[in-house]
């Protein structure tokens, strides 16, 4: 414990609030709330208090601490949630998968409603059903309902009264075409009511309608149509059967089950709406040996960001702060929410089912080849956490020209192409692999700092391409590459582990290295196979990007062979037309908007040859 912390511990107040632990770089590594700040914060620094390994590791890294006093424990809880969301502290239990679950939305606010998939309950005028676990299943149900009832899928404004041409869906009998007035508002509304009844679990109505349609098609000898309707009936029956569960018809609850094994906790979340099981979602966390803390953090973070909170949440442990959390959730819902830990009966059976799902999820995760590799990496490199997000960097060039960097991203061992980033080297005029590697990593980390500021100012995180930080960075290269990578991290005043991937004389992965020695990774087969795939993918992407850039530059340079056309004119042409093909296909008049007529004629003649 340093002198800064000693002095601050003396100044802690006897009031509720939030405390923020910081490392030597000033990064917030933990956020917590307390009913009495003085008692809670001091407890971290009392010896022999039975802290688990994760807490002990955190305490080792605490360099400074701050706190914010609040008027009540409820205010402290809300502030804690907001600060965890903003800073994603390293030692807090975090929900890595922050994607919202899919819902079915019926736009009842419109004269002729549509059926859509959405991930946000964002309107009180429309009807929402869910949440569902599988977006694929939601899309299938929506497509089935559209086809069965002829519901429009377009976003045309039908309030103007203007008629437009029928779309393809009308001609293939998948839309009733309200835009042309082929169906009345009343008839369309009846169809929407039937769909709502189906989504509320009243499937007998839609089955009855389809059965009549099937019989009619059969009577008219339209056997192909009758067969299609029969398949729809089977599909609906299958969906309904999957959702059946023995609970009261109007039940509205979530059930949380836990299963622990080794360093991992599996959490299964089951959704029941209107007495029907909508699915189960598995999530995984580091095992802190504190089930109560995990459930409390999950309830705060998940339902703070979730679009819908049910009336009842079944949980596997009694919570010391149950009343406070119920109040927090009830205020979010604007209605009563109960946290229930059942001892017997149907709800206890549902809890056992959720725990069984959590156990099954853990088994599936354990058997994953990527999970084994990630676990071996954590142990081999002595990382504080399993590296869920890994970034790999490579530099590619030809004799010092067209130097580029490429960043690949692997989440839970799998490539995440949507997270890949390309870098053109800006600050080097000659071949320098070390300088290029430093530039790429430093620029990437500075982009993160910029994005973090934008996020704190309220910008949408989905639009911030560098907001996420990796748990681990690999550079394609040896000890000196690792040194420049670590220097870049240090200059950005961040904390990320950096290692190198060394190749043999056949250009294949040989080992992992830091700036001092190699780790003999080949002795750890799962980890070695994983990093080999990562290095190959990164190298291939970097070469592909370099080739693409070089080809573009060579194509651009062919314009310079035209008499009277220099660098500045070439740039003007590309600014106006975008691509070389567009320049080749431009008319004389179009070219004359950028260059004089004689030069425009020479460009046309050049490409005619």
Q: Where are the alpha helices (DSSP H) in 179-316?
A: 185-199, 203-219, 223-243, 291-305
Query: What is the C-alpha to C-alpha distance for residues 418 and 408, in angstroms, rounded to an integer?
Result: 9
- The residue among 243, 269, 286 that closes a domain is 243
227-233 long-range contacts (CB < 8 A, ≥24 apart) are 232/144, 232/147, 232/148, 233/207
Q: At residue 429, does pLDDT exceed 70?
A: no
What is the domain range of residue 444? 374-553
The CATH number linked to 581 is 1.10.150.20
Residue 93 lies in a domain: no
Q: Does 95 reside within a domain?
A: no
In a domain, 485, yes or no: yes
Percentage above 90 pLDDT, the chain: 33
Cis peptide before 131 (omega within 30 of 0): yes
The enclosing H or E element of 139 equals helix 135-149
- Tell me what the mean pLDDT of segment 447-473 comes to: 91
Q: What is the widest separation between alpha-carbon atoms in the chain? A: 91
Split into its structural domains, the chain has a count of 5
User: What is the spatial distance between Cα 244 and Cα 583, in angstroms, rounded to a whole number?
Assistant: 62
Model pLDDT, residue 174: 74
Distance, CA of 425 to CA of 177 (rounded, Å):
54
Task: Tell whether 531 and 385 lie within a shared domain.
Answer: yes
Does the pLDDT of residue 500 top 90, yes or no? yes
Backbone torsions φ then ψ of 503, nearest 5 degrees: -105, 155
Which among 188, 216, 243 is the end of a domain? 243
Residue 361 is part of a domain; what is its CATH number? 3.30.420.10
* Same domain flag for 392 and 536: yes
What are the tens digits of pLDDT across the range 155-185?
777 776 666 677 777 777 778 888 877 888 8
| 3-state helix, strand and coil shares in percent for the chain, rounded to the nearest 5 | 50, 20, 35
Q: Verify that 454 and 327 share a domain, yes or no.
A: no
Question: For the segment 270-290, what is each residue's pLDDT rounded down to a tens digit?
Answer: 888 877 777 778 888 888 778
Give the Cβ contact number of residue 430 at 10 Å: 9
Residue 587: Cβ within 10 Å count? 9
**Residue 249 in contact with residue 274, Cβ under 8 Å?**
yes
Q: 437 with 387, same domain?
A: yes
Q: Is residue 96 part of a domain?
A: no
Number of other CB atoms surrounding residue 347 within 10 Å: 18
> For 6-56, how does the pLDDT look when each residue is reduced to its tens digit (9 = 90+)?
888 998 999 999 999 999 888 999 999 999 999 999 999 887 667 877 888
Report the relative pairing of strands 472-476 and 389-398 from DSSP bridges. Answer: parallel
On whether residue 331 sits in a domain, the answer given is: yes
User: How far does CA 115 lie from the centroid of its chain?
Assistant: 24
CATH code of the domain containing 464 = 3.30.420.340
In sequence order, what are the residues at sequence separation of 6 or more whose Cβ sits closer than 8 angstroms to the Cβ of residue 335? 311
Query: Are both 403 and 540 inside the same structural domain?
Result: yes
What pLDDT digit, counting tens, does each position of 223-267 carry?
A: 888 887 787 787 667 656 555 455 566 778 999 999 998 888 999
528 C-beta neighbours (distance < 10 Å), count:
21
Q: Is the pLDDT of residue 98 over 50?
A: no
Which stretches does DSSP call E strand in 93-213? 103-106, 115-118, 127-129
Tell me, yes or no, whether 328 and 382 share the same domain: no
Per mean pLDDT, which range of 142-156, 239-253, 403-417 is the poorest? 239-253
- Does 333 lie in the same domain as 389? no
Q: Which residues pair with 502 in a beta bridge?
A: 511
pLDDT score of 374 more than 70: yes
| Within a domain: 601 | yes
Residue of 534, 288, 298 lying closest to 409 (CA atoms): 534
């Amino acid at each position: 414990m340093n002198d800064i912390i000693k002095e601050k511990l003396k100044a802690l107040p006897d009031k509720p609030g939030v405390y923020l632990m910081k490392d030597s770089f000033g990064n917030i590594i933990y956020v917590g709330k307390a009913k009495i700040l003085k008692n809670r914060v001091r407890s971290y620094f009392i010896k022999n208090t039975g802290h688990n390994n994760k807490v002990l590791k955190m305490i080792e890294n605490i360099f400074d601490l701050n706190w914010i006093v609040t008027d009540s424990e409820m205010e402290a809880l809300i502030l804690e949630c907001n600060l965890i969301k903003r800073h994603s502290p390293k030692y807090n239990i975090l929900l890595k998968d922050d994607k919202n679950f899919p819902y079915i939305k019926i736009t009842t606010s419109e004269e002729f409603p549509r059926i859509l998939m959405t991930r946000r309950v964002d309107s009180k005028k429309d009807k929402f059903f869910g949440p569902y676990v599988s977006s694929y299943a939601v899309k299938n149900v929506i497509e089935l309902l559209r086809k069965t009832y002829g519901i429009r899928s377009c976003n045309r404004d039908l309030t103007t009264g203007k008629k437009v041409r029928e779309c393809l869906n009308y001609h293939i009998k998948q839309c009733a075409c309200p835009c042309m007035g082929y169906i009345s508002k009343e008839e369309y509304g009846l169809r929407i009511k039937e769909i709502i009844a189906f989504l509320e679990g009243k499937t007998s109505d839609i089955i009855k309608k389809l059965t009549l349609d099937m019989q009619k098609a059969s009577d008219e000898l339209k056997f192909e149509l009758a067969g299609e309707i029969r398949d729809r009936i089977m599909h609906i029956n299958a969906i309904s059967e999957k959702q059946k569960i023995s609970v009261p018809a109007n039940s509205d609850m979530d059930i949380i089950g836990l299963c622990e094994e080794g360093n991992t906790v599996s959490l299964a979340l089951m959704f029941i709406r209107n007495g029907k099981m909508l699915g189960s979602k598995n999530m995984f966390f580091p095992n802190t040996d504190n089930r109560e803390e995990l459930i409390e953090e999950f309830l705060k973070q998940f339902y703070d960001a979730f679009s819908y909170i049910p009336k009842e949440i079944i949980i596997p442990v009694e919570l010391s702060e149950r009343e406070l959390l119920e109040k927090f959730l009830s205020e979010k819902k604007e209605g009563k929410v109960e946290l229930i830990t059942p001892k017997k009966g149907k709800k206890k059976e549902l809890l056992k089912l959720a725990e069984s799902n959590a156990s099954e999820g853990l088994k599936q995760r354990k058997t994953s080849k990527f999970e084994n590799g990630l676990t071996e990496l954590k142990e081999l490199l002595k990382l504080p956490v399993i590296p869920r997000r890994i970034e790999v960097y490579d530099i590619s060039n030809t004799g010092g020209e067209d130097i580029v960097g490429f960043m690949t991203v692997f989440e839970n061992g799998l490539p995440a192409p949507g997270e890949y980033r390309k870098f053109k080297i800006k600050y080097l005029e000659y071949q320098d692999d070390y300088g290029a590697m430093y530039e790429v990593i430093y620029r990437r980390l500075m982009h993160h700092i910029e994005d973090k500021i934008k996020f704190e100012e309220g910008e949408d995180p989905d639009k911030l391409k560098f907001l996420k930080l990796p748990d681990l960075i690999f550079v394609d290269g040896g000890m000196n590459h690792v040194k420049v990578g670590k220097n870049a991290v240090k200059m950005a005043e961040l904390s990320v582990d950096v290692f190198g991937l060394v190749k043999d004389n056949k250009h294949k992965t040989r080992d992992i290295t830091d700036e001092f020695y190699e780790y003999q990774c080949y002795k750890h087969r799962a980890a070695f196979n994983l990093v080999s795939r990562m290095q190959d993918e990164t190298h291939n992407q970097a070469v592909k990007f370099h080739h693409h850039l070089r080809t573009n530059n060579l194509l651009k340079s062919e314009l310079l062979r035209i008499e009277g056309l220099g660098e500045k004119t070439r740039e003007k042409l590309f600014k106006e037309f975008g691509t070389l093909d567009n320049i080749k296909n431009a008319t004389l008049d179009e070219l004359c908007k950028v260059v004089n007529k004689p030069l425009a004629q020479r460009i046309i003649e050049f490409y005619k040859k």
